A and B are shown apart, each in its own frame.
Chain A
């Protein structure tokens, strides 16, 4: 594995980790979504 491969692998892994973190937060935010917030908007 060359330095270029390593750099790209680290960057892509970082991006995927952050994507996963955002997905977890999405699931967390959506949890119990039957609670309606009629007042907003």
Chain B
């Protein structure tokens, strides 16, 4: 039996069994039949094993190159390394669907197993909701998007199309699984909410389990988003990590509601409050995961994430309608039952702050959704007219000038940053204040004092940062412009734009969050050390194990604060340059000199791509070249009478005669620009003639214009020889050979010497001096930091990929991305100083580690869960 047939059979079996399990669970729940509920639990486990078997069949087809299956032919080829073959499993829509079914069935089996001692109708609805969700994806896999579809007329192509080169990156290999798993896992809190609503259960026990599933989903989704950001930063070459792309926005929406839900769950778990909030957020978060998938697959809005036209769009659209109707219907039905027995008693309590934070996060959801969908909706003249009237009304109220809209509204990253930035900062402020308040009570006099002191210290901190910025930047401006310091400082202050103000606020609150979280840890560790005599690390570990919710929460908040420092750095981005550079031209960036040395080609036969590397040397402006480097150049330049390093980044190599300088220049330029790409196939000493052929003809297959680059490089060498001492023939359109002829023996030998040099060279680039013909200006190896961003051109893809080069630093990353430009040997360079990126990634790591640690079961947590189930709201905050 072929893989395709076996896979189809298993998918059909899975569909049938899932439908049966859903029916069994519903019957069990409706008729209070505990046996049917228990049977449904076993059924879900059987579905999970079927899912595993189906996935194994698909994976087998991928790794054994079964190109008779359309999906395998479309997303893989025989040259793909094993890592990317595995990646191809979820690299396309059909595979992603199979991954969804596999993951949800496994999560469903774990859920069923965790409920094996409880066969109540509540569990019945829980399993039924999970099974029905799974059934929807099974239906899609069977009727709309089967990964086992085969070629009807033939046995398939001899080789496949290969994986999209953008996905051939280790980060992209690991980005989709946690992202998808995050989406998928939000099914379970939704199932808990539905079961609670369906049974009308009044206690808050459901949040105990639902919160753990939410934490798992949130950690996975966070990991997916962060890896995606890192991939965007390293791979896409536009200089940022979050572009407010519709698909990024769509994935952010459930993350925002999921974050709110984690906090509101915590309040219900401890106080019994916020029940309506929790069921609503659980339903909304799940709905948003489906909306995100719909937006990603439907291509409703143009996105960076290019997926081919999908058949799934109508299915997802109707599924969202059904979900919305069911959720709203159930919540409306149980609205009275969901009323909490008590109310929020003080606006200065933790629960009030949690509600305020949840509202802010919901506001962010609305803003992001509005900004994402408005461009599409405003394509309709009716919607455009409504938006135009609304804007005119706002303009009338604020007294500003209204410019009538003439076409679809365009919403860019600046709009999102402006609109979402203040909400994010307000959430950060809440994060700083939250731990200072207690649950279910207004703060006492001492606690109120702490709150006021924290607020006051925040104001002082903001003023301090502002004064420091004015002092430093004002002084720099005064030095450059020659203005008085006071005037320069005032000018700087006046010119502070909105990103600067946001950045200042973000840094202030982020530092406050760090201070509040760390102080609580430090105080508690100190108390344990005094009481028990433990070491600081032991005390910290015990604290985390004893009260993971409090101290793990602090750790996550520390991660968030560090990330916000990174966002603030991006808001106050120091410098970005987009510039076209010819070989040996330089640009300056943040006190550094970025010198373009030239391009070089490379062929990767394993992955079938040609890379065009752009080589740069980065050095501090005005820093002299070290004596060692000068000495190396002197030793290598035989016949030189002096090497002068006084005008960095160039060294001046002086010769006794013009002829000696010329021969040195010919050797160096031939070696640097030609020898790595062109091979000598025959040197005729008597005719002083040599033929050059392209070393890697495969490069020409994907990058035919490389031949012109070689020809241009050879012309530079010929020009360096001066007069007609060297002449060049060939290298024209489509001709991979060139013939170089010399009129002088010395120049000919110098040209050949370019190919005889072995080992690491002292010179990276050379050019004639414009003032003295006995001098050659060279760039020495070791005279600065070598950086080589590149562009890769794949045999099987029309779209080249950018591989940026980043020099990470504690305070600033130097970021270079280069693509070929039109002129001879020129490149388009994007150079950036990216401040505080290390803080962003460190924060991300802390969030993920803390989130994962919180998922680990502890003895104390188990006992707390039992007591919370028995008596929800019994726990008092430490």
Contact = CB atoms under 8 A, between A and B. Distances in A.
B56 A23 contact: no
A37 to B, nearest CB: 4
B31 A36 contact: yes
Interface in A24-41: 25-27, 29-38, 40-41
Interface string B40-54: 111101110110110
Given A8-B56, A8-B59, A26-B39, A38 B45 contact: no
B32 A36 contact: yes
A19 B53 contact: yes
Interface stretch (B114-122, B613-621, B819-827): B114-122
B57 interface: yes
B34 interface: yes
Contacts of A30: 24, 35-36, 38-39
A19 B51 CA distance: 9
Contacts of A16: 49-50, 53
B394 to A, nearest CB: 52
B766 to A, nearest CB: 53
Contact of A5 (B39, B52, B64, B123): B64
B739 interface: no
Given A8-B59, A40-B120, A26 B32 contact: no
Interface centre among B34, B59, B64 (most CB of A within 10 A): B34
Given A15-B52, A16-B49, A22-B49, A29 B120 contact: no
B121 A41 contact: yes
A34 B187 CA distance: 31
Given A15-B52, A19-B53, A41-B122, A26 B42 contact: yes
| Interface size of B as a range | 35 or more
Contacts of A29: 35, 38-39, 41-42
Given A19-B50, A22-B49, A27-B39, A41 B32 contact: yes
Contacts of B34: 36-37, 40
Contacts of A41: 32, 120-123, 199
Contacts of A25: 42, 45
Interface centre among B36, B46, B60 (most CB of A within 10 A): B46
A41 B24 CA distance: 17
A38 B28 CA distance: 11
B18 to A, nearest CB: 12
Interface string A5-24: 10010011001101110110
A20 B45 CA distance: 10
A38 B32 contact: yes
A23 B46 contact: yes
Contacts of B64: 2, 4-5
B56 A11 contact: yes
Contacts of B38: 29-30
A29 B59 CA distance: 33
Contacts of A40: 32, 34, 118-121
B139 interface: no
Contacts of A34: 33
B17 interface: yes
Nearest to B34: A37
B570 interface: no
A22 B41 CA distance: 9
B33 A33 contact: yes
A37 B33 contact: yes
A12 B46 contact: no
Contacts of B42: 22-23, 25-26, 29
Nearest to A13: B53
Interface in B115-165: 118-123
Contact of A23 (B17, B32, B199): B17
Interface centre among A8, A34, A35 (most CB of B within 10 A): A8
A15 B39 contact: no
B63 interface: yes
A41 B60 CA distance: 44
A22 B32 contact: no
B868 to A, nearest CB: 19
Contacts of B43: 22-23, 26
B120 A8 contact: no
A24 to B, nearest CB: 9
A18 to B, nearest CB: 4
Interface in B471-522: none
Contact of B56 (A12, A20, A22): A12
Interface centre among B32, B41, B49, B50 (most CB of A within 10 A): B49
Nearest to B24: A30
Nearest to B3: A8
B46 A19 contact: yes
Interface of B: 17, 21, 24, 31-36, 38-43, 45-47, 49-50, 52-53, 56-57, 59-60, 63-64, 118-123, 199
11 contacts: A12-B53, A12-B56, A12-B57, A15-B49, A19-B47, A26-B39, A26-B40, A29-B38, A35-B35, A38-B32, A40-B120
Given A5-B60, A30-B24, 18 more contacts: A4-B60, A4-B63, A8-B60, A11-B56, A16-B50, A18-B49, A19-B50, A19-B53, A22-B45, A26-B40, A26-B42, A29-B35, A33-B33, A37-B33, A37-B34, A37-B35, A40-B32, A41-B121
Query: Sorted from nearest, which 5 A-B pairs have the closest CB atoms?
Result: A41-B120, A19-B49, A22-B46, A30-B39, A37-B34
